[in-house]
Amino acid sequence: MRMRRLFKDRLAGRTMLVLAGVPALLVLLMLAGLIAKARPILSQKPFFSLLFSADWGPSRGAFGLLPFVAGTLYVTAVALVLAVPISLLSAVFLSEYAPRRVREFARPAVDLLAGLPSVIYGVWGVLLVVPFVSRIAAPAFGAHTTGFSVLAASIVLAIMIFPTIISVSLEVFSSIPYELREASLSLGATKWETVRYVVMKKGAQGIVAAVVLGLSRAFGETMAVLMVVGNIPRLPGSLFDGGSTLPTLIANNYGEMMSIPLYDSALMLAALVLLLVVFIFNILARLILVRIRRMSA
């Protein structure tokens, strides 16, 4: 009987080990598949010459990815600059200051925003954000634009990642023991000092995780960005210029004009670059989390 139980325990442990390794295996399979598909173009042109070339003209055999890499980083960075402060302050207000009725109303609304399809955000961006950029934001800075621009895509993307950062941050703040807040207040700290030096410091790891989740969604967003960014394969000179991103490049062109030599391989290379960029940023986020953990220890 005892031997049978030990056998079952070992079998269960090994089964869970195999199942836990499936996600990592899937990532490796994706990476291997993209590398295999990108090999035709990589065998003719060096990777870094493609990555840092701004010349995109498939009919001429030019497949420079720099405009799309720069557009992806540009749109994502501006979206994070817009989204992170507002999201964190919203989470702090709902967690520490808001009356119970406001909190009970806001949480379902945030969850609803998180569940909306991206095409809804895209339509909303075309109807409201694009006219705002073309008629108000651009003239205020002396610029002229159709509204389909990096700024419009960044605003839509920032609104899309609000719910992710707010929801995770709320969970982080609610997990912090209330006794820590009481101890800080009993020592004479104000409410804001308690939030700043106790709640925010204690929840720093969770806040970084929330931002990383928002960053991951921002990097891969396709439909909403495609509808408002302008889809112009060139380096954006300002926030009011049109641009394109790696996901919109793939969504716009895959399945079309595949008779052009190396076109399919170039799109697979773009997908590979996107995967590598997300992977690198996740590693950097892990390093930041480790550093925060050591500082708070």
- What number is the average pLDDT over the span 21-25? 81
Assign 3-class secondary structure to the chain. Answer: CHHHHHHHHHHHHHHHHHHHHHHHHHHHHHHHHHHHHHHHHHCCCCHHHHHCCCCEEHHHCEECCHHHHHHHHHHHHHHHHHHHHHHHHHHHHHHHHCCHHHHHHHHHHHHHHHHCCHHHHHHHHHHHHHHHHHHHHHHHCCCCCCCCCHHHHHHHHHHHHHHHHHHHHHHHHHCCCHHHHHHHHHCCCCHHHHHHHHHHHHCHHHHHHHHHHHHHHHHHCCHHHHHHCECCCCCCCCCCCCECCHHHHHHHHCCCCCCCCCHHHHHHHHHHHHHHHHHHHHHHHHHHHHHHHHHHC
Look at 13 and 160; give whichever has higher pLDDT.
160
Question: Rounded mean pLDDT of the chain?
Answer: 85
The pTM for the full model equals 0.85
Two tokens at 137?
A: 């934001």
- The model's confidence at residue 295, banded by pLDDT at 50, 70 and 90, is low
Q: How confident is the model at residue 154 (pLDDT cuts 50, 70, 90)?
A: very high
Greater model confidence, 13 or 236 = 236
Confidence of residue 293 (pLDDT cuts 50, 70, 90): low
Q: For the ranges 2-6, 61-65, 135-139, which has the lowest average pLDDT? A: 2-6
* Opening angle at CA 142, ends 135 and 243, nearest 5: 70
Residue 79 has pLDDT above 80, yes or no: yes
pLDDT value at residue 190: 84
Q: Region of 142 please: left (phi>0), alpha (psi -120 to 50) or beta.
A: left
pLDDT at 297 over 60: no
What phi, psi does 262 have (nearest 5°)? 70, 0
Instruction: Decide: 270 and 65 in contact? Cβ < 8 Å.
Output: yes
Is residue 150 very low, low, confident or very high in pLDDT (cuts 50, 70, 90)?
very high
Q: Are 80 and 207 in contact (CB under 8 A)?
A: no
Residue 109 pLDDT greater than 70, yes or no:
yes
Q: Per-residue confidence at 180, pLDDT binned at 50, 70, 90?
A: confident
Are 199 and 96 contacting, i.e. CB atoms less than 8 angstroms apart? yes
Q: Does 16 have pLDDT greater than 90? A: no
Confidence of residue 118 (pLDDT cuts 50, 70, 90): confident
| Res. 9: pLDDT tops 80 | no
pLDDT score of 110: 84
β-pairing verdict for 56-57 and 62-63: antiparallel
Confidence band, pLDDT 50/70/90 cuts, at residue 200: confident
- Which backbone phi and psi does 146 adopt, to 5 degrees? -75, -15
pLDDT for position 199: 86
Reported as a pLDDT band with limits 50, 70 and 90, residue 78 is very high
